[in-house]
Copies of this chain bind each other. A is one copy, B any other.
Amino acid sequence: MNKTQVKLIEAAEHEFAKHGFHGASIRDITARAKANIAAVNYHFGSKETLFIEMIRHRLEPLNTLRIELLDDAVAKAGKRPLKIRRIVDILVRPMVESVVNGPQNRNFMRAMGRGMSEESEFMQQIYKDVLAKVVERFRLEMARSLADLPESVVAICFAYLRSTLSGVMQIRKNNLVLDTSIQFPDADTLVAYISGGIEAIAKDYRTQNK
Name which of A23, A164, A198 has the most chain B CB atoms within 10 A of its CB: A164
A160 pairs with B177, CB closer than 8 A: no
Given contacts A22-B20, A118-B20, A196-B200, contact A162 B177 (CB under 8 A): yes
Given contacts A22-B20, A195-B200, contact A151 B127 (CB under 8 A): no
A159 pairs with B188, CB closer than 8 A: no
Q: Is A193 an interface residue (CB 8 A)?
A: yes
Q: Is A18 an interface residue (CB 8 A)?
A: yes
The CA-CA distance from A151 to B167 in the complex, in Å, is 22
B160 pairs with A178, CB closer than 8 A: no
List 11 additional contacts besides A160-B190, A196-B198; criterion CB under 8 Å: A114-B114, A119-B172, A158-B177, A160-B185, A163-B168, A167-B168, A192-B197, A192-B201, A194-B197, A196-B197, A197-B197
